[in-house]
Amino acid sequence: MTVFYFTGTGNSLAVAKRIGGTLVSIPQVISSADLHYKDDVIGVVFPVYWATAPDMVLDFLARAKFECDYSFIISTSGGTNGASMLIAKRVLKQSGHRFNYMDDALTIDNSMSMASIEVQLARKQDSKFAPKLEEIASNIAQRRQNTEKKPGAALGAFSFVVSKIPNYENVPKKFYIDDKCNGCKTCTKVCPAGNIQVSDSVSFGKDCTGCLACLHLCPENAMHRKGECSAARWRHPDVSLNEIIAANNRR
């Protein structure tokens, strides 16, 4: 079994690790000319950003060719997966592939503009993560079929609208760095898009995926987002910083 994943703060990697198999980071293969993969089971795990999958994941799904007997796609989100599955299915239809199983897992919302990390942890929102993850892993092990993950009509329509908004090019304009920054360059290593440079200061390009790994994983908590609603930062407890660096560092 081969499981492809995209992760910013570890949520989707935690899912991929629990499912098992050979884990492959999408950022590490996205620049490959040959995205043809063959295995008995192939899966894709991704987070939901702004009601859809990250652009890099959609690009991967559009270009990849899978040869397998069974395939699955799993999303992780802090509340709803929006239209992510419908959009993913549309992309996959164009590439000629159909997944056998689709599902989503609730975890901590790391958006910083929508939900407080402290409040979520106090409410133990992530307590639903473990049993759902076990259910997903069991369903995949048993080769269950489920391709009807659809949002309600209103949510689906809203999600499609917001997913059309130009993605994350302007996100870094909302970031600022305080004087705790020591130039350690962790932010450059956890950025899956290779979008951050550190010299005398921290600078951002125009390829931001909106994963917020740089903000959450800064060892000095020196990076902030304007209007952030939480002083806390999030990394999934089952995923180490080194694992995220290995997954995302493309330099």
Which residue has 């079929």 as its token pair?
Answer: 145
Q: Where in the chain is the domain with CATH 3.40.50.360?
A: 2-163
What is the pTM assigned to this prediction?
0.90
Predicted local distance difference test score (pLDDT) of residue 226: 86
Strand boundaries in the chain, DSSP class E: 2-5, 22-25, 36-38, 41-47, 65-67, 70-77, 101-106, 175-177, 196-198, 202-204, 223-225
Percent of the chain with pLDDT strictly greater than 70? 88
Q: Where in the chain is the domain with CATH 3.30.70.20?
A: 171-248
Confidence label for 83 from pLDDT (cuts 50, 70 and 90): confident
Q: Using one digit for the tens of pLDDT, what is the confidence trace for 110-153?
A: 888 777 888 888 877 666 677 888 999 999 999 999 876 555 55
SS3 74: strand
Confidence label for 22 from pLDDT (cuts 50, 70 and 90): very high
Fold topology of 2-163: Rossmann fold (3.40.50)
- The answer as to CATH 3.40.50.620 being correct for domain 171-248 is no
Confidence label for 231 from pLDDT (cuts 50, 70 and 90): confident
Is pLDDT larger for residue 51 or for residue 14? Answer: 14
